[in-house]
Amino acid sequence: MKNTIWIWIHQRDGLIDDITFGLVQEARELAADMADTVSIVAIAMGIDLNDPLDDDQENANPLNLLGGCGVDRVIQFKGSSASTYHGESVARALSGVMEKERPLFFLMAHDADTADLAPRLAAMLQLQVVTRAVDLSVNDQIPTAVRPIANGHLFETRTYNCRTSLIVTLLPNVLVSSGREPDQERYRDEKNNIVIHQIDLQQNEEQDFKTRIISTIEAEPENLDITEADIILAIGRGVGKQAGNETALDSVYELARLLGASVAGTRPVIDRGDLPFERQIGQTGKTVTPRLIINCGISGANEYTAGIEKSKQVIAINTDARARIFRFASLGIVGDFDLILPLLIKRLIQLKDIG
Ligand SMILES: Cc1cc2nc3c(=O)[nH]c(=O)nc-3n(C[C@H](O)[C@H](O)[C@H](O)COP(=O)(O)OP(=O)(O)OC[C@H]3O[C@@H](n4cnc5c(N)ncnc54)[C@H](O)[C@@H]3O)c2cc1C
């Protein structure tokens, strides 16, 4: 059987997320490193692969886009449970196919679902797993991964056994989406050549699973995972300098509630314990893609802006007019955030009262 590399298709509201194309690119690079003919297999869950073809590439038929970017085959989950991730059923369904096919790699971007799936599959099949990798390559046929440790202050490089499949989750911000641009020839032709292999995802109730999905609860915007937030209020070391941290944080949460925003921060804010690590934006934190991000008291270091580049509207508030963050902002305010914050809260309350 031909060697394969598997990738997990990441989607948002049924549309394929850009990071999926970064995974395809990564798979193509690994295949090139191995100088081997490797086919790329994409695992689809919660996506209608038969969406009507649209000339607009953003909404193009998923098969057409995947095929154009280099995917040879799609394994699609079907069944009524296929729209919601349930770790035990997905891992059980995939493990059977994986055992037979023994892909060289199974690549995923690191998110809440794959952070569950990757170790689960590895444990079931006794395979190696690497989580939160920032780089993956094959040197002399030996897989090598680099991953941050100690909250991103250090990086470790590890090599792995090449005789069994390697399951890898990669940090989303390293998955640049240059692979999204489909090869025009393949883009036109591949839709009909791509092979679809469907597998059943059993209903939770029918199986002897230890867990069951009872209901899905929407998180309050301020607590929402920052990778899913529509509006983000991001704070840096400059916030709370004058007002005192605790008072400033209370006001930050009040402003976030009024805006319907999720709160995130830079590494110094996480290091001083004001926000948990999962709220860190940047190279060693998360990549965010909100409609609006408001950066308060943030200088805009490379390692931070790497995580906000895909935001649609960027606002920055900083006392230093030369701060790098302003290069990324469509609206910049030079001023003291500790003074601006109560004014914003007051104005938003007034607007809500008028509304
Ligand atoms: C390997 C590596 C990985 C890293 N990964 C990350 C990462 O993932 N995420 C991350 O964020 N950083 C990361 N960093 C750290 C990064 O280099 C910066 O040090 C960090 O982003 C700076 O955070 P900051 O903007 O909050 O603080 P600072 O750079 O100190 O900036 C504070 C800003 O606040 C402004 N300010 C001060 N007072 C006020 C006020 N009252 N009102 C308004 N503005 C005010 C100042 O003018 C200044 O611009 C990493 C570093 C390394 C070496």
pLDDT 10s digits, 196-225: 778 777 655 566 888 888 888 877 777 788
Least confident residue range of 35-39, 46-50, 64-68, 297-301: 46-50
d(CA 106, CA 171) in angstroms, rounded, equals 14
Q: Is the pLDDT of residue 75 over 70?
A: yes
pLDDT given for residue 337 in this prediction:
92
- 203 CA distance to ligand 1 centroid (A)? 47
Higher-scoring residue by pLDDT: 224, 264: 264
- 12 CA distance to ligand 1 centroid (A)? 30
- 235 CA distance to ligand 1 centroid (A)? 9
pLDDT given for residue 126 in this prediction:
95
Closest among 191, 127, 133 to 165, alpha carbons compared:
127
Q: Is the CB of 268 under 6 A from ligand 1?
A: yes
| Residues 25/107, Cβ–Cβ less than 8 Å | no
- All domains in the chain, ordered by first residue: 3-206 (3.40.50.620), 221-354 (3.40.50.1220)
pLDDT in tens, 25-42: 999 999 988 876 889 999
Q: Is the CB of 287 under 6 A from ligand 1?
A: no
> Best substitution site from 237, 242, 296 to test ligand 1's pocket, by max atoms within 8 Å of Cβ?
237
Q: Is the CB of 73 under 6 A from ligand 1?
A: no
* Residues contacting residue 280 through CB under 8 Å, at least 6 positions apart: 152, 264, 265, 266, 267, 269, 270, 286
pLDDT given for residue 53 in this prediction:
46
Higher-scoring residue by pLDDT: 149, 157: 157
Atom 7 in ligand 1: residue holding the nearest Cα: 282
pTM, whole model, 2 decimals?
0.72
pLDDT given for residue 185 in this prediction:
53
How buried is residue 211: exposed, middle or buried, by Cβ count under 10 Å (0-12/13-18/19+)?
Answer: exposed
Question: Dihedral, CA atoms, 15, 21, 23, 27, nearest 10 degrees?
Answer: 140
**Which residue in the block uniquely carries the two structure tokens 């998180």?**
219
